[in-house]
Structures are given as structure tokens and as C-alpha cells.
Amino acid sequence: MKAERDSITIIRRGEAVEIDRFAPTETLLDYLRLRERSIGTKEGCAEGDCGACTVAIGRPDGEGGVAYRPVNACIHLLGMADGAEVVTVEDLARGGTLHPVQRAFVDHHASQCGFCTPGFVMALFALHHRPDPGPIDRNDVNDAIAGNLCRCTGYKPIVAAALDACAEPQPDGFGESATTLTGIGEGQPVFVGNERSFFAAPAAIDELAALCMLHPGATIVAGATDVGLWITKQMRPIEQVIHVGRVRGLADVEDRSDSIEIGAAATYQDAWGALSAIDPDFAEVLRRLGSPQVRAVGTVGGNIANGSPIGDMPPLLIALGSGITLRRGAETRTMPLEDFYIDYGRQDRLPGEFLVSVRVPKPAGTAAFRAYKISKRFDQDISAVLAAIAIDLEGRRIASARIAFGGMAGIPKRARRVESALAGILLDDSSRSSAALDLLGDDFSPLSDHRASAGYRLRVARGLLMKALTEIAGTPSAHTRVVGLREVADVAGA
């Protein structure tokens, strides 16, 4: 093993900056505003919801260039930026000339109070540097700024500015730092602090396993899109952080003929192509999961491991029959994903054990899949109910069903009584299918909270199942949906 580094390195304005002292929970936003005094990046919600703190993180794209992704600096731990270029709104203008995105904001009067403007500009800077510089439309822009809120300008001039600046991106002098970025701390684990309080970023899975055994009480962090809120909102005194984002191979996504193997540190963006290809509904839920800033760093594995009953990924993966691999020391074990969840806040994970990967089977040719996300806001909102339905068919007969819900119990959970009642009936047998759906109340006793009442959740869940059966029976989704139509070809590639 290479010697540990006791500092991290980030690239700022073309220069390597070494940082050897920081608290394990110091955020990138606090570093920028309080240490650098780069105060163009704002703090709004401090939970990754408003986008005012958006900056761009650049890493080598493997083809000699730099891939820029937008991130919420308010919940992005400073140590996680190791080895990356950090671009803020102050960096964009060159030689007194505004960046094309900034110029477009001026030309289209896309800013009033200006508080949210730096975040919008940085989100659109990332769109300006998208990997595929092909044509974009209003929907593409709306997706790009789904994680940014404005309360005075209105979105029309912002979208107009985005289309002006990003439709045909012009060279802006960024993306030339690939040589500088390549090799920064490559293969070297990071350990900043002491045995009591530290930020650690192992470089190999054996190093990760050893650290977790040595510090079983440490907080394992992937993208910090959830843990970040423990820090900024719950004020938890987290002293030991183990970041898995630099572990070689842990972010790999292997797309096989019958399944997808997703490493625990793979971000939603990393897994986007493989998962979206499973089904248009899977793609639509992913599009509405968080925001570009969240999907750029949030991980599939993190959504599984934190055990949230309202996480969007577990119901989707459970309905498909996914399994996970865990490791503790030198030992590994596998289990069905649904068995990982024991009770609210409790998972089948031993001290020192961590998630390695999730295996997602692809639906067979005889299977039909549907998924629906119900939330108060359409974009970047936590689900009140997430339904995922996988049905194996023998002609018009339901051979078997796997139905999973989020938001209906203290854990992501299958509707086993409904599944059993649906098995063997014909898709056209509305009376028997209706009777089967009535069993939802036996499978679930949901809670009432500020997102939805228990009664609402049960009614919605029943309606979603009925909609799924109706669509699978042959009714076009144009008759059952307002948005996310399965017949629209670009949904799968959204």
C-alpha cells in the first residue's frame, strides 16, 4: 500500500491548493466562503434543495478532457473534493469578458435580487460543458435547473438565457486542466486528523475493509447527499468520516446481458445509462430523483445503505429482485435486497460491514414493469409514495408479481398478500384484481406525516396498482397519465 497522504489537493483557478487541516465535516461551501472568501457562492437552504450554493466539480473524463458536474457545496464535504478542480462563479469571467452564460443572463434580464443567480449560472455552466454538445430544448434546460430555485425573476428569462448560451456551446477556456488533475494522489489513501477525529479516503477496497473494522463507529460517506443534512440540519457531532468515493473499482457499473452490477460508490449519473435502459418508467423516476447536483454525487449504494423508508431506489430494485453484496474484513456475504431491511432505522449490517455492490436483474421478455413517483413537487422532492410493480405474464395471465412500495411502512416493503392474490388471474378479470388490491390494507399500515396522511397513501397506492394493471392490460399510458408517457420515445433517454 502506498503511503497515506495527510492532506488533500484541489485545483483552484489553475493552481494546486494543498489543504492539510480541516474538520471531518467541513463543507466545501464553508471552505469557499469562510477561508477563501469566495462569497459569490451562496448559502440558502443548507440542505441541497435551493441550488444557491452550486459549484462545478471537474475530474478527468478519461479522454483527455475534464468532465464538469454541478454539486451542492453546502452538503459536499471538503475532503470529497480531493483531486478535483473546483469552479465557482468568480472564476468564469476571463480578462474582463463575461462567460457566455453570464452574458446571456445580462442580455435576457435573467436576474433581479441576484441571490440565486450564481447557482443558476453554475448549473448552466455544467450544461454548457455537457458531454454531448448536441441540440437542447426547453425540457433539457428545465432538467438542468431542476435543483435551482428562483423566487423573483421567474424562469422564462432564465430558460431563454440558457438556450442562448448553451444551445451551441462556445469554447470558454475551461477543460484544460486535465493534465494537472491527472495523477493527483492517484492510488494514495488519505487520512487527515487523528484516531479520534479524522477524514479518511481509502484508495483500495482492502484498505476500506481494514478501516471499517478498525473504526466500526465511523460514518461511511459516499455522496453525502443524506449525511450532509445530518451535519447542516441535525448538527450531529460526527468525528470520524470514511469516504468511499476514491476506492478503485467501487464505482464501476457492469452492464451484462441479464443483469447490471453496480458498485456501492457509483453515482446515479454513473449508473444512469444502464438503469434507464431497463424500462422507461425507471428512467422517468431517475429523472425526478433529486436534481443534477444530487445525481452527480449521490450514489445508488448510499440510497440503499441509509435504509430510508422513502428512498426511491430500494422499491425499484426490490421489485426487480435485486441482491446485494456486503463485506466485513475479508468476509463477504450476499442477500436479497429486501432482506437487508429489518425495521425503521435497522438494517442487517454488522459492525465494520459495508455495502460492496448491488446486482439488478433485467426483466425477462415476459415481464412487465411499471413505476410511479408521487410527491408534492414534481422536481426534486421526497416521495410520499413510490410504487414499483414487476409482473411476469403467461399470455394474458399473471404468472407472478413483485410489488414494492416506499413511503408505506418503516422500511421499503413488498405487498406480499396482494402479490399472492394476483398470481393466476387474467389481466381482464377486473373483479378479482380489484379484490386483490383491497388487500393492500393487510400488507401496509402507513403513517401520517407532513407529506401525506395514512389514508391518502393507501388510496394512492391502490390507484397506482390499478393504473399499472390497466396499462399492462393494453391501455395506452396517454389515457392514464398526464406526464411521463411511455409512448414518448425520449422518456427512456431523458
Q: What is the pLDDT of residues 288-327, one digit of tens each?
A: 999 999 999 999 999 999 999 999 999 999 999 999 999 9
Supply the pLDDT for residue 250. Answer: 98
Write down the pLDDT at residue 351: 97
Distance in angstroms (rounded) separating the CA atoms of residues 441 and 429: 21
pLDDT value at 333 more than 90: yes
Where does CATH 1.10.150.120 sit in the chain?
Answer: 93-166
State the average pLDDT for the chain. 94
Instruction: Tell me the mean pLDDT in the region 183-204.
Output: 92
Q: What is the pLDDT of residue 175?
A: 84
| pLDDT at residue 187 in the model | 84
CATH class of 370-491: alpha beta
Dihedral (CA of 263, 267, 273, 276) sign: positive
- Which residues lie across from 391 on neighbouring strands? 368, 401
| 469 within 8 A of 447, measured Cβ to Cβ | no
The C-alpha torsion from 206 through 209 and 212 to 213, rounded to 10°, is -110
CATH fold group of domain 8-90+177-243:
Ubiquitin-like (UB roll) (3.10.20)
What average pLDDT does this structure show over 100-128? 97
- Of 10, 22, 23, 19, nearest to 55 by C-alpha is 10
3-state secondary structure of 477: helix
CATH 3.30.465.10 placement within the chain: 253-361
Q: Are 119 and 42 in contact (CB under 8 A)?
A: yes
For the chain, the 3-state helix, strand and coil shares in percent, each to the nearest 5, are 30, 25, 45
What is the spatial distance between Cα 110 and Cα 158, in angstroms, rounded to a whole number? Answer: 5
Tell me: pLDDT of 18 over 50: yes
Coil, strand, or helix at residue 419?
Answer: helix
Q: Output the pLDDT for position 483.
A: 85
For domain 93-166, the question of CATH label 2.70.150.10 is answered with no
For the ranges 63-67, 110-114, 238-242, the lowest mean pLDDT is seen at 63-67
User: Cα separation of 85 and 99, whole Å?
Assistant: 18
Residue 105: what are its φ and ψ, rounded to 5°? -65, -40
pLDDT digits (tens, 9 = 90+) for 353-409: 999 999 999 999 999 999 999 999 988 899 999 999 999 999 999 999 999 999 999
Alpha helices in 167-246 (DSSP H): 178-181, 205-214, 227-232
Contact 491, 280 (CB under 8 A): yes
| Mean pLDDT (whole number) for 347-354 | 97
% of the chain with per-residue pLDDT over 70: 98
Query: Whole-angstrom distance between the N-terminal and C-terminal Cα of the chain?
Result: 42
Tell me how far apart the alpha carbons of residues 218 and 70 are, in angstroms, rounded to a whole number.
27
Q: What is the CATH number of domain 253-361?
A: 3.30.465.10
Query: Looking at the predicted structure, is the pLDDT value of residue 146 above 60?
Result: yes
Between CA 17 and CA 85 the distance in angstroms is 10
Burial 293-309 (b: 16+ CB within 10 A, else e): bbbbbbbbbbbbbbbbb
**Cell matching residue 56:** 462545478
Regarding predicted confidence, which is higher, 257 or 484? 257
Q: What is the pLDDT of residues 235-251, one digit of tens each?
A: 999 999 999 999 999 99
Main-chain dihedrals φ then ψ at residue 400, nearest 5 degrees: -160, 165
pLDDT per position as a tens digit, 195-231: 999 999 999 999 999 999 999 999 999 999 999 999 9
pLDDT exceeds cutoff 80 at 425? yes
Residue that is written with C-alpha cell 461551501 in the block: 29
> Which of the two residues, 3 and 422, has the higher pLDDT score?
422
Instruction: Answer yes or no: is pLDDT of 3 > 80.
Output: no
Cβ pair 222, 245 in contact under 8 A: yes
Contact residues for 148 (Cβ-Cβ < 8 A; gap 6+)? 50, 51, 52, 54, 116, 119, 120, 123, 291
> How many H-runs (helices) and E-runs (strands) does the chain carry?
18, 20
Per-residue confidence band for 2, with pLDDT thresholds at 50, 70 and 90: low
Residue 429: per-residue pLDDT: 95
State the angle between helix axes of 117-128 and 100-107 in degrees (0 to 180), rounded to the nearest 10.
130
β pairing state of 341-343 and 253-255: unpaired
Task: Give 176's pLDDT tier (boundaries 50, 70, 90).
Answer: confident
Q: Locate CATH 3.30.390.50 in the chain.
A: 370-491
Q: What integer pLDDT is reported at residue 493 of this predicted model?
A: 39
